[in-house]
Amino acid sequence: MSYTQLMFMHLATVLPAALIGGYLLIARKGSSVHRLLGKIYMILMLATALITLAMPGTVGGTVLGHFGPIHIFSIVVLISVPRAYSAIRRGDQRTHQISMVMTYIGAILIAGGFTLAPDRYLHDVLFVNGFDAKP
């Protein structure tokens, strides 16, 4: 699969996750809507983390010729999302809340912020060349 295909798959999972996750952070907790959207959010976050692991690191050096520093966020998601799910299933709301807030801050806000840095594809699409930008 090409980098461009992986990138669009990543955007197709992370953009709705960002919107749903943002809503979940401000909406009433514990409702049936919260539980349903929470499951969708978790699935989207796990999918996007797996997709990003297939994308080679392009900034900041690599480990094993593939993984860059940003892949740390993927690993964090793969650990914290199941941890949050397990916590809420056992009634540990505090661990669930901390895991979900930190996942959103790290994987959506911080990692997402890195994608807007100059010379990154998404930065070029949004601020420079539009969809004529080269990945």
96-124 pLDDT, tens digit per residue, is 999 999 999 999 999 998 888 887 777 78
The model's pLDDT over 2-35, given as tens digits with 9 standing for 90+, comes to 888 998 999 999 999 999 999 999 999 999 999 9
Give CB contacts under 8 A, 24+ apart, made by 98-107.
100/21, 100/24, 100/25, 100/38, 101/25, 103/21, 103/45, 103/76, 103/77, 104/21, 104/22, 104/25, 106/73, 106/76, 107/45, 107/49, 107/73, 107/74, 107/76, 107/77
Tens digits of residue pLDDT in 51-91:
999 998 777 776 777 888 888 999 999 999 999 999 999 99
User: What pLDDT digit, counting tens, does each position of 30-49 carry?
Assistant: 999 999 999 999 999 999 99
State yes or no: pLDDT of 50 exceeds 80: yes
Q: Which two tokens stand for residue 51?
A: 């997709």
Task: Report pTM.
Answer: 0.89
The yes-or-no verdict on residue 131 having pLDDT over 70 is no
pLDDT score recorded for residue 135: 66
